[in-house]
């Protein structure tokens, strides 16, 4: 299939949370017919009222699912597999399925293994979010400036990869790229999960409530993501355990090395490390970033 606004492509979002709701908003704005299937009626009502969706149901409505040529799953990883086991018989033959899950190796192959042969699942990870959840916080603007990563396997068709790329473009992502599930998981273990582990540990390593009046921006910036959805992230950590542990150890080793330099008073060693960090970090700056 190809996305086609004029021929009225039907898209169903399964799971109307922060990300699912933001997909719905963005795709409706782009002219698609978007409906949603989720757990709570109040999320459906909110999305209808805001005009994010044309129709919705608080159960896996066969009528909506039968119409959908594209289904986007915005669910917790374990729920996604359960949902498909229970409901894949309701999906339209030939439908393309995609997701927004933050871990890939432990999900993609299992899903592709159990899927009806007339359906195709192409995994993707929109690297965008907020420190709040729920459709009430949905906002299509979070995709601007963000990265969209497609993680195809050998079982995916070139057509599905192309449609998934088109979806990322329609959502407004700044950069769209492809990685293998394994490359994705190692990368995410480093840039996303490790950083959340650091932020959490920084907030819990000492009683720090009294420091509110003394902090500068550095501490706030490093701990912003400690406002974490513990249900989701504990699941993501465990589903990506080996790459995460590997990256945690890599960070500990380097942090211990810096600590040894400080303890030894090795100013030249510290400066070399700082210079490398500063040089590398400049590559990550974007136009308009704070303090550039």
Angstrom distance (rounded) from CA 97 to CA 188: 22
Q: Which is nearer to its own copies, 117 or 283 (CB)?
A: 283
* Contact assessment for residue 20 and residue 135, using Cβ atoms and an 8 Å cutoff: yes
> Is residue 287 a contact residue for its own copies (CB under 8 A)?
no
The correct pick among 4, 144, 157, 249 for binding its own copies (CB under 8 A) is: 249
The two structure tokens encoding residue 74: 């915005």
Using CB under 8 A, which residues numbered 177 to 236 contact its own copies?
Answer: 177, 179, 187, 190-192, 194-206, 208-209, 211-228, 230-231, 233-235
Q: Which is nearer to its own copies, 162 or 270 (CB)?
A: 270
CA 56 centroid distance within chain: 23
Angstrom distance (rounded) from CA 59 to CA 36: 10
Angstrom distance (rounded) from CA 44 to CA 59: 10
Which helix (H) or strand (E) is 122 found in, with range?
Answer: strand 120-122
Using CB under 8 A, which residues numbered 125 to 164 contact its own copies?
Answer: 127-132, 146-147, 149
Angstrom distance (rounded) from CA 289 to CA 76: 32
Q: Which is nearer to its own copies, 8 or 182 (CB)?
A: 182
The correct pick among 7, 93, 280, 288 for binding its own copies (CB under 8 A) is: 280
* Contact assessment for residue 151 and residue 179, using Cβ atoms and an 8 Å cutoff: yes
* Contact assessment for residue 71 and residue 98, using Cβ atoms and an 8 Å cutoff: yes
Q: Which is nearer to its own copies, 48 or 179 (CB)?
A: 179
List CB contacts of 169: < 8 A, sequence separation 6 or more.
176
CB 273 → its own copies: shortest distance, Å?
Answer: 6
* Contact assessment for residue 108 and residue 135, using Cβ atoms and an 8 Å cutoff: no
Size of the site for its own copies (CB under 8 A): 94
> Is residue 283 a contact residue for its own copies (CB under 8 A)?
yes
Using CB under 8 A, which residues numbered 98 to 127 contact its own copies?
Answer: 127
* Contact assessment for residue 164 and residue 2, using Cβ atoms and an 8 Å cutoff: no
Nearest to 195 by CA among 257, 136, 251: 251
CB 149 → its own copies: shortest distance, Å?
Answer: 6
> Is residue 288 a contact residue for its own copies (CB under 8 A)?
no
> Is residue 90 a contact residue for its own copies (CB under 8 A)?
no
CB 267 → its own copies: shortest distance, Å?
Answer: 5
Q: Which is nearer to its own copies, 159 or 254 (CB)?
A: 254
Q: Which is nearer to its own copies, 154 or 253 (CB)?
A: 253
> Is residue 262 a contact residue for its own copies (CB under 8 A)?
yes
């Amino acid at each position: 299939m190809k996305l086609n606004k004029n021929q009225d492509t039907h898209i169903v979002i399964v799971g109307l949370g922060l990300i699912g709701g933001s997909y719905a908003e963005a795709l409706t704005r782009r002219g698609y017919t978007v409906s949603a299937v989720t757990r709570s009626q109040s999320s459906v009502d909110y999305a209808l009222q805001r005009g994010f969706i044309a129709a919705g149901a608080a159960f896996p409505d066969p009528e909506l699912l039968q119409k959908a040529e594209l289904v986007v799953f915005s669910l917790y990883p374990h729920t996604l597999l359960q949902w498909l086991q229970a409901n894949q018989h309701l999906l339209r033959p030939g439908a393309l399925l995609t997701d927004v899950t933050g871990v890939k190796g432990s999900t993609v192959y299992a899903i592709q293994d159990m899927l009806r042969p007339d359906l195709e699942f192409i995994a993707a990870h929109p690297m965008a979010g907020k420190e709040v959840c729920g459709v009430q916080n949905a906002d299509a603007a979070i995709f601007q400036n963000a990265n969209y990563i497609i993680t195809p396997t050998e079982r995916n068709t070139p057509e599905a990869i192309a449609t998934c790329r088109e979806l990322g473009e329609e959502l407004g992502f700044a950069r769209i790229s492809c990685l293998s599930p394994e490359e994705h998981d190692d990368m995410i273990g480093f840039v996303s999960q490790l950083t959340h582990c650091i932020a959490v540990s920084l907030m819990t390593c000492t009683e720090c409530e009294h420091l509110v009046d003394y902090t500068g921006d550095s501490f706030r910036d490093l701990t912003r993501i400690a406002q974490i959805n513990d249900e989701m992230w504990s699941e993501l950590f465990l589903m990506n355990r080996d790459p995460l542990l590997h990256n945690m150890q890599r960070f500990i080793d380097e942090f211990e090395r810096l600590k040894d330099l400080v303890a030894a008073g090795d100013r030249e060693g510290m400066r070399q490390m700082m210079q490398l960090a500063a040089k590398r970090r400049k590559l990550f700056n974007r136009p308009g970033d704070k303090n550039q």
